Amino acid sequence: MSDSTPSEKVGLLPTLGLFTTISIVVGAVIGSGIFKKSAPMALQLGSPELLIGVWILAGILTLFGALTNAEVAGMISATGGQYIFFKEMYGKFSAYLYGWAMFAVVQSGSIASITYIFSESANEFLSLPHLSPAMESMSFHIRYIGDIFPFADIGVKGLTIAIIILLSLINYRGVALGGAVQVIFTVLKVIAIAIIVVLAFTSGGGNATNFVQVSASGTPSGIGLLGAIMAALTGAFWAYDGWNNITYIAGEVKNPQHTIPRSLFVGMMVIISVYLVVNLAYIYVMPIDAMAKSGFLAMDVAKIIFANINPSLATIGVGFIAAAIMISTFGTSNSTILASARLYYAMSREKMFFKSLGEIHPRYRTPGNALLIQAIWSSVLVFSGTFDTLTDMLIFVSWVFYAMGAAGVFILRKKMPDVARPYKVWGYPYIPLLFVTFASAFVIITLYTDIQAYMTGQSTIINSVFGIFLVALGIPFYVYFEWKKKQRAE
C-alpha cells in the first residue's frame, strides 16, 4: 500500500486455529437445507437410492471444488480470499465484480435468509407479534422483483434484524469471540443432528425396506432422469453452499497456508458424512412417497420418532426440531457474518470499495465498519422481504464464479509456477477439470431452463439473466473507485 493510516498499522490478529476454522467451514454450510431439501428431492427422484446418490454426488463435486480452492488458499493466504484470488487470476475488474455480487446480494442475502429461518423457528416458542391484517397486507410492486410486503410478519423480521445486529456486535468485539461462538454452536448443531439420527434408528418405528422401495408412481428415465437429477442437485448444492467462506479470513488464521486447506478438507468430509447419515435416518423412518409429500421433512420425521417413543411426546418432536434449526441457523449466520465482512474490508484496502470499510478497530482489531455496513444492508434486505428472490437470481452467478475459481488453478500454475504451494490439489489436472466441466454445464443448463420457463410463461423473468444484470449494476461503482484512485495518485 502506498498510503498509510493508523488502522493499517494496527492490522488483523491471526488467532484462529485448526479446530475453529473447521467449525467455521462446517458452521457456514450446515444451516437449514438438510432439514428441508430432501423432501422436494424425493419428489423429483422417486427413489431412495437416487436420493442418497445425489447427496453423495453433490458432496463429492463440492469437495472437488473445495480441494481445488484449497490449493489457491494455500499459496495466497491473504484476507479477502476469493476476491484476492480473482485479482491474481483474472485482474481487478473480475475481482471487483465478484466482491460486488457478494456484498449486494449473495452474502448479505444469505445472512438475511438464514437468520430469518432462525426467527421463524423461534416463533414456535415466542409467538412473535403481528400488525393488523390491513397493515400486513400493504404492498408495493417492484418490476422484475415482485410484490413487496414490508410490514408482513413484522415480529419475525424484527427478531431477525436483532439477531443480525447481535452477531455483528459479537464479531465486532473480536474475531476470537466470534470464533468461540462459532465453535460452541457448531458443536451443539452436530449434537442435535446426532440425537435425531440415533433416535431415528433406535425408536423402533423405522423400516429397512424403505431403503429399496421406490415411489409407487415410478422413477424418471432417459432425459427425464437427467432433468430430475439436475433439479435435485440444485437443492443439494444449496445445502452445501458456503464452503469457501473460510478463505475470506485468512489474515486471522494461524499458519493459514496449512490450516485453511486442512480445514476445508476435514470440514467437507464432516459435512458429507452428516448429510449422508441424516438422509439415511429420514429414509429409515419415512418411505420415499411419504418424504415427497412432507411440507417440513425434519419436523415430520421428529413427530414420528417421538410418537414411537411415547404417543404423548409427538409435539415435543416439533419443539426439538425447531430448537435444532435455531441452533443450526444461528451458527451459520454467525459464520457468514464473521467471514463475509473480511471480503469488503479487503476490497476497501485495495481502494476498490468505500474507504471506511478498510479501517480496523484499534482496540478489537476487527474490520468494525465492514461488519456494521454488512449488518445494515442485510437488515434492509430482511425488511424489504426480497432477499429470497434476490438470492435465487444470484445462484446462477455464484456458479459462474465457482467455475472461474476452479479454472483459475490452471491459470496460476502457468502464471505463478515458482510460488510455494503447501498443498497441491489431489488428482491435478483431472479433479479441477471435472469440477470446471460440471460447473460450466450446470450454468448452461440453468440458463437454458430459465429461458424455457420464461418462453413458456412459467416465469415472468429470466432469473439467470437478471442475476447478471444485478452484478452489472456494480460497474458504475467500479468506474467511480478507479477514478478516485487516479485522483489520489495525482
- Superfamily name and number for 6-489: Amino acid/polyamine transporter I (1.20.1740.10)
For the chain, the helix, strand and coil percentages under 3-state DSSP, each to the nearest 5 = 75, 0, 20
**Which uninterrupted H or E stretch holds 430?**
helix 430-455
Local confidence band at 272 (pLDDT 50, 70, 90 cut-offs): very high
Question: What is the spatial distance between Cα 224 and Cα 209, in angstroms, rounded to a whole number?
Answer: 26
Q: Is the pLDDT of residue 373 over 90?
A: yes
Local confidence band at 8 (pLDDT 50, 70, 90 cut-offs): very low
Per-residue pLDDT, 10? 58
Least confident of 130-144, 254-268, 467-481: 130-144
Per-residue pLDDT, 3? 42
Q: What is the pLDDT of residues 425-475, one digit of tens each?
A: 989 999 999 999 999 998 898 888 888 877 887 766 777 888 888 889 999
Q: What is the pLDDT of residues 303-361, one digit of tens each?
A: 899 888 888 887 888 888 889 999 999 999 999 999 999 999 999 998 999 989 999 99
Least confident of 296-300, 313-317, 370-374, 438-442: 313-317
Q: Domain segments of the chain: what residues?
A: 6-489
Q: What is the pLDDT of residues 96-129, one digit of tens each?
A: 999 999 998 888 888 998 898 899 889 888 888 8
Local confidence band at 52 (pLDDT 50, 70, 90 cut-offs): very high
What is the pTM for the complete model shown?
0.86
Question: What is the spatial distance between Cα 439 and Cα 241, in angstroms, rounded to a whole number?
Answer: 13
Cα separations in angstroms, 420 against 74, 95, 152, 257, 261: 9, 23, 54, 10, 14
Say if residues 288 and 215 touch (Cβ distance below 8 Å): yes
